[in-house]
Amino acid sequence: MRLATVRTPEGTTHAARLDGEEYTVLPGHADLGSLLADEEWRRIAKDAEGPRHHRSGVEERTVVPRPSKVLCAGLNYTSHIREMGRELPAHPTLFAKFADTLTGPYDAVEAVAEDPEMDWEGELALVVGRTAHRVSEEEAGAHIAGYTVANDISMRGWQYRTTEWLQGKIWARSTPVGPVLVTPDEFDADTAVLRTTLNGEVVQEHAVADLLFSPAHLLAYVSTMVPLHPGDLILTGTPGGVGRARTPQRYLGPGDLVAVSVDGIGTVSTPIV
């Protein structure tokens, strides 16, 4: 299934199921986070017969507007680790975001005066579908609701002010996520390719299968420390091709359009204003 949070022409938001080019509203759920909190979410989503809207007639929002956690893996593609001049890590490098950083898949992101080094990081993200605490990697798949696309837009100047990355990663409304959640039965991580374009030029293109730590490994690893709840997000990391690692370095600015796509899921397209 392909699920989303949409705003209909009436101005209200709903969880919805996408069939072809038509959304079916899932009654009783204002967003995908609300739906996933119901243990019967798969059955509800599959069987729903609510109002229908053509995809062009609704606004696709960030898939889960208010997750309890947004966790991110840094340095998780071999190519990106090497371009940043680092050794392959034995364990995932993790940092956190907050719900305030999330924005819709087509929303504009503002350049900030405080940091001219705004960079792109196209990523595959997983959405938790079932509470997970201290689960094994073998068990982790049963706790993944599905996958979506994210751009971990980063303020590099602030990120590297200290050895901790948080302050470069948590700027308000800087992380587009969407447009849909695709359940694992309809997404093939072994063949999917992630692509990021800047003003139409491909700047990242890499097989998702090259992740050093898989989505299941990341979910199990995080759940060892803290419970994960339905709707929580884990961004799995970005491949090589980020602006900071280029010669000369290249950053985003007003007028740019950065887009991230993952085969089998869709595209987030972000104007910088």
Low-confidence winner among 56-70, 87-101, 102-116, 125-139 (lowest mean pLDDT): 87-101
Percent of the chain with pLDDT over 70: 99
Taking residues 194-200, report their average pLDDT. 98
44: left (phi over 0), alpha (psi -120 to 50) or beta: alpha
Taking residues 227-244, report their average pLDDT. 96
pLDDT band at residue 270 using 50, 70 and 90 as cut-offs: very high
The whole-angstrom separation of Cα 125 and Cα 146 is 9
The whole-angstrom separation of Cα 72 and Cα 232 is 11
What's the burial of 130, exposed, middle or buried (CB within 10 Å: 0-12/13-18/19+)?
A: middle
Percent of the chain with pLDDT over 90: 92
- pLDDT tens digits along 145-174: 999 999 999 999 999 999 999 999 999 999
Q: What is the mean pLDDT of the chain?
A: 95
Query: Is a pLDDT exceeding 80 seen at residue 86?
Result: no
The whole-angstrom separation of Cα 227 and Cα 209 is 26
pLDDT band at residue 245 using 50, 70 and 90 as cut-offs: confident
User: pLDDT higher for 75 or 42?
Assistant: 42
- pLDDT tens digits along 2-57: 999 999 999 999 999 999 999 999 999 999 999 999 999 999 999 998 899 999 99
Beta bridge partners of residue 54, listed in sequence order? 22
The whole-angstrom separation of Cα 156 and Cα 249 is 11
Taking residues 60-80, report their average pLDDT. 92
Considering the chain, tell me which residue range(s) the CATH 3.90.850.10 domain(s) occupy: 70-271
pLDDT band at residue 210 using 50, 70 and 90 as cut-offs: very high
pLDDT recorded at residue 265: 98
Best CATH choice for the domain 70-271 from the list 3.40.50.1820, 3.30.420.40, 3.30.460.80, 3.90.850.10: 3.90.850.10
pLDDT recorded at residue 82: 75
Q: Are 203 and 259 in contact (CB under 8 A)?
A: no
pLDDT recorded at residue 83: 67
pLDDT band at residue 79 using 50, 70 and 90 as cut-offs: confident
